[in-house]
Amino acid sequence: MNTLTTTAAGFAPVKIMGIQYHHARTFDGGDLYLTRYGLPFKEQLRPENWRESDWFLAHRQQLRGTSMIYRTQTKPAGGVGLDIVVRYNRVGEELPVDTLTLEKFITADFNSPFEEIAILNELRHQRLADGRRIIPTKKPLAVFAPPDLLHLWQTGRLESKIAQKLASYPEAQLDIRRQYIVIYGWIDGLDAVQMADHLKLAGAERETFLAETTNYVINELAAIGFRVLDMKPAHIILRLGPDNRLRRRKNGKLLYALVDYELLDRID
């Protein structure tokens, strides 16, 4: 890695896949990489301020999905706490998707933590012809790699997949034995399934709402050259306005945020 001079509070700048991070070794021997969004919250994001065992168990809430993903809070630092989402990255693991999908996207793999943030950064900067940014997302705050070295059978990773990632971007220095946790800012709202429950939709009306919402997001992503391989209604966050109706953009189109990126990819 290209480690340069030390920055604030012991963090040193390092660029990985075109993204500028601020890296520090943590008190327990782990590695913390802050993005520009995470740097102002460097104290809150130190692992002792959110991952300490008793604190994490007391504050975590497991979120919908197949991965290990939690909403939690940090301990206050300087009187300020932070609502965050932490997800254990599945780089190198087999995709738990159906055979038809695998045949259609035969080269698909879970993004590594740094790959995920790089692709997400591209998506966050895409705009429509009228200059409007099309898809709000969670802000990527950090990547944390705990110091513990796991046995290969514990990780569930394939050596061939990790080798392929390392060949593509060796500066990431992925270790097949280490866990990688991606940390995001929390976005308020309800996912599309929760929203259907809140609106008391049932039967065909519910199925139509979920299908139309999901297809709408898929089409908007495709229009700017992106896709999420396993797009689900749970990946789409919606909000209600004061009139208890779904919030919309000024042009009347649905207002939403995309919140899952481990299979976010560019369309060739």
Which tokens go with 133? 């940014």
Determine the Cα–Cα distance for residues 43 and 173; give it in Å rounded to an integer: 25
C-alpha pair distances (Å), 212 with each of 58, 86, 106, 173, 201: 37, 29, 27, 41, 14
pLDDT, one tens digit per residue, over 177-230 is 999 999 999 999 999 999 999 999 999 999 999 999 999 999 999 988 999 988
Cβ atoms of residues 35 and 142 within 8 Å: yes
* Amino acid residing at 103: E
Domain boundary (134, 153, 185) is at: 185
Domain count for the chain, please give it: 2
| C-alpha of 31 from chain center | 18
Question: Exposed/middle/buried for 58, CB within 10 Å: 0-12, 13-18, 19+?
Answer: exposed
Residues in the chain, pLDDT under 50: 1-6, 99
Domain identity same for 24 and 152: yes
Residue 108 pLDDT: 81
For residue 110, what pLDDT is reported?
A: 92
User: Looking at residue 230, what is its pLDDT?
Assistant: 86
pLDDT at 183 (0 to 100): 98
Supply the pLDDT for residue 125.
87
pLDDT at 104: 66
196 found inside a domain: yes
Is residue 2 included in any domain, yes or no? no
Q: Let me know whether 173 and 225 are in one domain.
A: no
Residue range of the domain that includes 61? 8-185
